[in-house]
């Protein structure tokens, strides 16, 4: 029989500065990346929407990951860099808390990338309605820090 599921007790831990940065990429057709750069996406700017969605996702992380602590978020920063056929997103999160913000950073970067996919999917579909080129990859924590 497995152990019961429980949230870890962090009440005895000191409140300290903590930060985490997560990264991920969305591979798209070269023409889709060019259309994003030219601000030609029908729904609007997917980078701006992705940034706002990432901030919201960071704040809602404990609602989606049941054993994640609800912690105060001090700052969320989302940045993008372009390659010919992909966009890399980075999400950095800062808190002063008893536990870290890795899950929040991962949730933020993933949500940013999913929103880019949603806003560009009409350009990515093939004649059968499939997405042969679109792919989200490389989601990971780049760095986490604890203390000053």
3-state secondary structure 92-142: EEEEEECCCCHHHHHHHHHHHHHHHHHHHHHHHCCCCCCCCCCEEEEEEEE
Whether 132 has a pLDDT exceeding 90, the answer reads yes
Q: What confidence score (pLDDT) does residue 4 get?
A: 87
Catalytic residue among 77, 85, 118, 133: 118
Q: What confidence score (pLDDT) does residue 81 get?
A: 98
* Mean pLDDT across the chain: 96
Spatial separation of the C-alpha atoms in residues 18 and 94, rounded to whole Å: 6
Extents of the domains making up the chain: 16-146
Q: What confidence score (pLDDT) does residue 3 get?
A: 79
Spatial separation of the C-alpha atoms in residues 96 and 91, rounded to whole Å: 17
Q: Residue 113 has which token pair?
A: 């990338």
Whether 107 has a pLDDT exceeding 90, the answer reads yes
Hey, what's the torsion of the CAs at 19, 75, 88, 143, to 10 degrees? Answer: 0
**DSSP bridge partners of 93:** 20, 76
Q: Mean pLDDT over residues 34-63, rounded?
A: 97
| CATH 3.30.70.640 matches 16-146 | yes
Is 9 a residue of the active site? Answer: no
User: pLDDT tens, 11-39?
Assistant: 999 999 999 999 999 999 999 999 999 99
Q: What confidence score (pLDDT) does residue 56 get?
A: 98
- Alpha carbons within 13 A on the beta-carbon side of 127: 0
In the chain the first and final C-alpha atoms are separated, in Å, by 42
């Amino acid at each position: 029989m497995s152990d019961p599921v429980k949230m870890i007790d962090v009440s005895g831990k000191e409140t300290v500065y903590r930060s985490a940065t997560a990264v991920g990429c969305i591979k798209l057709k070269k023409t889709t990346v060019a259309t994003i750069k030219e601000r030609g996406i029908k729904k609007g700017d997917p980078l701006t929407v992705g940034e706002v969605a990432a901030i919201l996702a960071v704040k809602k992380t404990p609602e989606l990951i049941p054993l994640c602590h609800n912690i105060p978020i001090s700052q969320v920063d989302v940045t993008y860099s372009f390659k010919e056929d992909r966009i890399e997103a980075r999400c950095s999160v800062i808190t002063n808390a008893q536990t870290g913000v890795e899950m929040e950073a991962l949730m933020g970067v993933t949500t940013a990338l999913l929103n880019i996919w949603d806003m560009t999917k009409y350009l990515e579909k093939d004649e059968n309605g499939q997405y042969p080129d679109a792919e989200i990859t490389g989601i990971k924590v780049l760095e986490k820090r604890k203390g000053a």
